[in-house]
A and B are shown apart, each in its own frame.
Chain A
Amino acid sequence: MAAGVDAGKATESVRVVGITKRFPGVVANHDVSFAVTAGTIHAIVGENGAGKSTLMKILYGVQKPDEGQIEVNGKPVTLSTPADAIAQGIGMVFQHFQLADNLTVTENIVLGAEKLHGIGAAARAEILRISQAYGFGLDPDELVESLGVGERQRVEILKVLYRGARIIILDEPTAVLVPQEVDALFANLRELKAQGNTLLFISHKLDEVRAVADAITVIRRGTTVDTVTPASVTSRQLAELMVGSELPSPSTEESTVTDRVLLQLRDIEVLDAAGRPELSGIDLTLHAGEVLGIAGVEGNGQTELVEAIIGMRKASRGTVTLGAEDITTWSTGRRRELGIGVIPEDRHRHGLLLDSPLWENRILGHQTRPPSVRGPWIDRSGARADAARIIAEYDVRTPGIDTSARALSGGNQQKFIVGREMSGDPQLLIAAHPTRGVDVGAQAAIWDHIRAARRDGLAVLLISADLDELIGLSDSIKVILRGRFVGDFDPHTVTPEQLGSAMTGAGSD
């Protein structure tokens, strides 16, 4: 299956061998190897957090690898800055456009590349030439603010072509597009390929990848798993490669599911800033002692679901009930006081004050509850004692409670968060990707804690992209796709194929 790697060297645009990149406490990439044939569209797929972004930053010279080699057109290169990458003919189109709205297309493109063709008629002519050559249909004199999303993306692509790129990296280019725009983008990409450019296409949308790529490299947990051709795999097989198919036997523990309903969502709808639905028609019932797993490819509404439950986002329709209380209109603070513990998806942004000591982090999210506060006062000794208890009970490896959260490794930060969120008698635990980016030891410990919580009668909502985790821990599994639940599965009988199909919307085949 590793055909791409062994192909003749002369036709390879990019070859990456044994790339390893470490950050303190985390290995973002290890032993990443793949080769991209010149004049093809090569897709890199993997879950968020699998290490795609780090790899792309390395290829574009934003970060330097600790080990490994990069070859461009058969020659080893060192890419220390984006300027080096551009000099090698590598260009990058970022997911978040980097355009100035109040400038014209021409002005945006020449900005920073004034030396190539000046800023006048010559530049304009060159832009027009490229636009026509690839069928972009851009007007060089139009203001960017009047362009649609698809057109802006073409401006970004034109920008890298203008700078002489022949190898173009596109970071999740379809994430911001509606289906018709995706089709248009793919037509542009095929045209670019036909004229001899090489495209590196990063995505986690498998159907899109299969539609446009000539070869697909899969990354999981920081390393390249395989390189395949779209013809040789199904979406299901690709999903398995992405999330891991080694399925453990589902939890043999006896069911602790009670018939006491704890969390109930009825017909929840959440809209984004532009008024498009991010969640619609969400119905969900979670009982005490039950672990409900939410499976889905990232970006299909999982984040919004969590935020709707804890009140960070207001539902435009529907009700949220916890126990006997209708909490639809409650603030996040009140909901958390009622007993909702949250292991957030992004622990650095939502779970920790990185520069504060651990004992102050113990207070976060529990500002109104003992032992960390007494009335309007912070209970310093109470918080310190309880932080020490968490460190001992949850095996957080740290010199002490005065260490700042930032200094801890990802796994230890996560264990501390789990311990904190299990404090203060929660009724509901929301665990979003609880073992992402943590080492194997911490992973097993966190799984044990979730099982223990279930035994204690907590209701647990488990959101994960890891099928092993979902099947091993859940009492039932729902699949979310484009903001809707599209299937219910019993983890004891479900096969990864079934889950994979439902997650990617591949239908019932």
Chain B
Amino acid sequence: MAQRPTNLARRAGLGLIAPALALVIAAALSSLLLVSTGDDVGGFWTTLTTKPENRNIVNILNYGLVLYLSGIAAAIGFRMNLFNIGVEGQYRIGAFVAAVVAGEAWLPGKANIVLAVLAAMVAAGLWAGIAGLLRVTRGVSEVISTIMLNAIAGLLVGYFVQKVGVSTGVSRSTKAIPEESWVGGIKLFDGVPTQLFGLALLAPVVGVVYYVVLNKTRFGFNLRASGASETAAVASGVDVKRMIIVSMVFSGVIAGLIGMPTLFGSAHNYGSSFQTGIGFAGIAVALLGRNHPIGIAFAALVFSFLQDRAGLLNILAGISPEIVAVTQGIIVLAVVIAYEIVRRYRANLERAHVAQQVEEVRA
């Protein structure tokens, strides 16, 4: 097994080529687009390549960690071949429920936080479970049902905010969380008022749990087997219907955490200004990160970085910040294509390698 290390190195190398290729393609196409619209390409790149201010680094980390949670939520579904497009709706349900529970403050101080976070997980998990149940009992594609559930979640939450919320002057939102139940920030740089959300630390914890459960447990094996080949999983005794419901619920449970860092760290209530779109971004992040806990972290940071720079583009180079959304979109498209090319190349390479080794044994 002398060639094993080089083999491993080659595998790892191939794994990195795809995302690198995707980023290069996205950079090239975005530049081309800017040239064709007569925008300042130089300014675009200067803005993107300048080291962010300390304040911006904190923002990038905050948003990146939230995106990470969203990416993991989507990745759980993907590993099972379930396209949970509903992370967005699940996260809004979760954030709303947590805001109400925390706002009511039935428990004092830190216990209130724990209760609210658990409530968010349960609510979002159940909401995602609806799609799993529909898929298993009625054969409804989870793509369709989660998209619809997103719309319903948005309207439902909006309705209840009006119903149970309090007026904040300009609009309505849930009751503010009492200050004793806020989660303080973590100071990263001296003299910078922006701090890292305390609950953003949930992200690395979730990442580790995701990795361990998926790769080290029987449940994770069954989940991956069901995703890799449903027929083989059924024949091997996995109850795939149960797995569909369970993994949908787990995906939702993690989605329920997405809103927590912001809710307890800065917003302190849930209203119409609560950030949206994180659930959809999570799908892209999971794709770019290949559903791998480290890959998703990298992808979340890339997306978060681009998002942060978008505002500056307008100010410094006079470029519409929407170009960043275009770039993110191209990255996702390019990455899907690049992964498929690399996957095929790798499969052929391995097959040739096996054939050659077997020939040597025979000779």
A residues near B (Cβ < 8 Å) are: 24-25, 310, 312, 331-337, 342, 344, 349-356, 360, 363-368, 373, 376-378, 380, 397-400, 403-404, 406-409, 412
Contact = CB atoms under 8 A, between A and B. Distances in A.
Given A336-B237, A406-B347, A354 B218 contact: no
B1 interface: yes
Contact of B222 (A367, A399, A412): A367
B232 A349 contact: yes
A406 B352 CA distance: 12
B237 A335 contact: yes
B237 A350 contact: no
B40 interface: no
B229 interface: yes
Interface stretch (B106-114, B298-306, B355-363): B355-363
7 contacts: A365-B237, A378-B220, A397-B357, A398-B357, A400-B1, A409-B358, A412-B358
Contacts of A412: 358
Contacts of B1: 400
Contacts of A406: 347, 350-351
A310 B237 CA distance: 9
A378 B217 contact: yes
A502 B128 CA distance: 54
B218 A368 contact: yes
Contacts of B51: none
A369 to B, nearest CB: 10
A304 to B, nearest CB: 14
Contacts of B354: 398-399, 403, 407-408
> Majority SS of interface residues in chain B?
helix
Contacts of B229: 349, 352-354
A365 B233 CA distance: 8
Interface of B: 1, 4, 215-222, 224-225, 228-229, 231-232, 234-239, 347, 350-351, 353-355, 357-358, 361
Contacts of A376: 217-219
A458 to B, nearest CB: 19
Contacts of B355: 24-25
Nearest to A331: B239
Contacts of A334: 237
B216 A351 contact: no
B221 A363 contact: yes
Given A378-B221, A397-B361, A407 B350 contact: yes
Contacts of A332: 234-237
Contact of B236 (A24, A365, A378, A403): A365
A351 B357 CA distance: 24
A364 B232 contact: yes
Contact of B225 (A337, A353, A368, A407): A353
A407 B218 contact: no
B221 A333 contact: no
Contact of A333 (B217, B224, B239, B357): B239
Contacts of B216: 377-378, 380
A441 to B, nearest CB: 10
Given A333-B238, A367-B221, A351 B350 contact: no
B347 A407 contact: yes
A377 B351 CA distance: 31
A342 B235 contact: yes
Contacts of A365: 235-237
Nearest to B236: A365
A24 B351 contact: yes
Nearest to B212: A377
B350 A364 contact: no
